[in-house]
């Protein structure tokens, strides 16, 4: 059974760095073809894909966030991470991690709400 | 980036009615198209992948079709539990992009 769960700070101030953790089970990031992706959704709005990391450490980012993103993984502990630097109020959203399989996202976490406020 | 134009933004359907939602890609995406359902307060769930393949466990009243740049999701017989937001997503090229969503309500 595949499960994913996000964790994060809840609230942070503008200009700080947002650090998110995705803890998963039911698959391994050391297995060929496996990956973890991050997607966010401001309240009442649509979905925005942020980044994917793959079993071979290949990484893909959404260029709209202009080099503010860093995705990484800890294969031994079944975790993936996302950092977003220099946050502002526009980064307030629910952040999801999900498993990308041939592009589609077949399993999603429950999401973690992040608020950026001074 | 590939733009995904989804329509309509919202619709209301009666019990048993057939509804369709469309996504138009700004360039051909070779059927690398998925549909997700998101119920209020929940995370999205995969319904359809590769434009027309039904994810395991999804009711057969959901179907997907299309090719090239035009894709659609059909619900054959609206049920109360189908009230949700629906999103399309292309995975043909990075950055993967989503449609803006369709809010489906029961009339």
Q: What does the pLDDT look like over B21-41, one tens digit per residue?
A: 999 999 999 999 999 999 999
What is the structure's pLDDT at B90? Answer: 97
- Test the B interface: residue of A52, A100, A105, A112 with most B CBs within 10 Å: A105
**What SS3 state is found at A69?**
strand
What is the structure's pLDDT at A101? Answer: 85
What is the structure's pLDDT at A105? Answer: 95
The predicted-structure confidence for B53-103, as pLDDT tens digits, reads as follows 999 999 999 999 999 999 999 999 999 999 999 999 999 999 999 999 999
**What SS3 state is found at A95?**
strand
Strand A79-84: give its sheet, edge to edge. A3-7, A18-25, A79-84, A69-74
What is the structure's pLDDT at A102? Answer: 79
Look at A103 and B32 and tell me if their CB atoms are within 8 Å.
Answer: yes
Angle at A49 between CA A47 and CA A52, to 5 degrees: 150
* Per-chain mean pLDDT for chain A: 96
Residues of B in contact with A64 (CB under 8 A): 1, 95
- Residues above pLDDT 70, as percent of chain B: 100
The answer to whether A117 and A102 have CB atoms below 8 angstroms apart is: no
Residues of B in contact with A110 (CB under 8 A): 43
The predicted-structure confidence for A5-21, as pLDDT tens digits, reads as follows 999 999 999 999 999 99
* Kind and range of the H or E run holding B76: strand B70-76
In Å, how far is A117's CA from the nearest CA of chain B? 22
The predicted-structure confidence for A64-88, as pLDDT tens digits, reads as follows 997 999 999 999 999 999 999 999 9
Give all strands (DSSP E) within chain A, no chain letters.
Answer: 3-7, 11-12, 18-25, 35-41, 48-54, 59-61, 69-74, 79-84, 93-101, 104-108, 112-116
- Residues above pLDDT 70, as percent of chain A: 100
CB-based contact, B22 to chain A, within 8 Å: no
CB-based contact, B54 to chain A, within 8 Å: no
The answer to whether A48 and A62 have CB atoms below 8 angstroms apart is: yes
Q: How far apart, in Å, do the first and last CA atoms of chain B sit?
A: 36
Residue A14 Cα to chain centre, angstroms: 19
Whole-Å CA distances, B98 to A48, B33, B35, B47: 7, 10, 9, 14
């Amino acid at each position: 059974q595949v499960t994913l769960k996000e964790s994060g700070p809840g609230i942070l101030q503008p200009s700080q760095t947002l650090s998110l953790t995705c803890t998963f089970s039911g698959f391994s990031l050391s297995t060929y073809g496996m990956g973890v992706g991050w997607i966010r959704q401001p309240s009442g709005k649509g979905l925005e894909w942020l980044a994917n990391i793959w079993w071979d450490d290949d990484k893909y980012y959404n260029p709209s966030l202009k080099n503010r993103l860093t995705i990484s993984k800890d294969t031994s502990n079944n975790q993936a991470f996302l950092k977003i630097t220099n946050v502002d109020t526009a980064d307030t959203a629910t952040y999801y991690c999900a498993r990308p399989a041939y592009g589609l996202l077949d399993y999603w976490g429950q999401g973690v709400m992040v608020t950026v406020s001074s | 980036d590939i733009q995904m134009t989804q329509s309509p933004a919202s619709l209301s359907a009666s019990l048993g009615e057939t509804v369709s939602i469309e996504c138009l890609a700004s360039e051909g995406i070779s059927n690398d198209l998925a549909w997700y359902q998101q119920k209020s307060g929940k995370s999205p769930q995969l319904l359809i992948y590769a434009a027309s393949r039904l994810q395991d466990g999804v009711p057969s009243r959901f179907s997907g079709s299309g090719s090239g740049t035009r894709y659609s999701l059909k619900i054959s017989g609206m049920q109360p539990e189908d009230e949700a937001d629906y999103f399309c997503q292309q995975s043909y090229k990075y950055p993967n992009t989503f449609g803006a969503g369709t809010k489906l309500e029961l009339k």
